[in-house]
Every structure is written in structure tokens, then in C-alpha cells.
Amino acid sequence: MSDFVQVSTATETREQAVQLAESAVRGRLAAGAQVVGPVVSVFWHRGEFGMGEEWQLLLKTTAEGYPALEAHLLEHHPWEKPEVVAVPIVAGSAAYLRWLADSTKPGA
């Protein structure tokens, strides 16, 4: 398993995504985050087909730190059942990965 993950979620507004990004990074739950959007989402929700604009949030953290980041996102996300998924970072520059690890240490 990879030591690092990229976590994604989406929100209805840019402001919501920025707020989640800021709280996660300030709390050292993620080393960094990018807000991308708007993006078009196509989905099923409560048995109905839907389409709309969302703001995607990408966060980088350690695999060990993922559970705390997930809990934070679920607690502070405006949606009842938001997408919160993580994919492994299988490769990266040594300096970046060192920064990522150092930036997610409490009290760093």
C-alpha cells in the first residue's frame, strides 16, 4: 500500500470547497489542497438522474492520516452523503513526498 493518498470530494460552491480545504490544511490533516471548478457532474441521486456544476476538492495526505481527514470532511461537509475517496499516490518526487509527510505532522 502507498504511504500517500490523494483525497477528493466535491461541493456545490467554490466557497464551500475553499472552506473545507482551508480547515483541513490548517489542521495538518492535509499538506495541500486544490479547488478545481466548476466541473460538470453527472450522477444518480435518490433514484433520479442528475446533472449539475460542482467544485472539486483534491487534498494530499498520508495513508495513515486518511481516517482523520475523512472524518473531518464528513463532519464539515454540507452534504449528507458526500463523495470522499482516496487513491494511492504510487510515485512522486522525493522532495515533494518528504514535504507532504512533514506538513501533515501535528505541530509541524
Q: What is the CA radius of gyration of the chain?
A: 14
Q: What is the predicted pLDDT for the residue at 2? A: 79
Q: Work out the pLDDT band at 41, boundaries 50, 70, 90.
A: very high
Res 1 pLDDT > 60: no
Between CA 46 and CA 35 the distance in angstroms is: 26
Q: Work out the pLDDT band at 20, boundaries 50, 70, 90.
A: very high
The separation between CA 43 and the C-alpha centre of its own chain, rounded to angstroms, equals: 19
Q: Work out the pLDDT band at 108, boundaries 50, 70, 90.
A: low
- Grouping H, G, I as helix, E, B as strand and the rest as coil, residue 25 is helix
> What is the bridge-based pairing of β-strands 85-88 and 32-45?
unpaired
For residue 5, CA distances in Å to 30, 52, 66, 78, 80 come to 10, 27, 8, 23, 24
Grid coordinates given for 46? 435518490
Res 107 pLDDT > 80: no
Please write the tens of the pLDDT for every residue from 62-87: 999 999 999 999 999 999 999 999 99
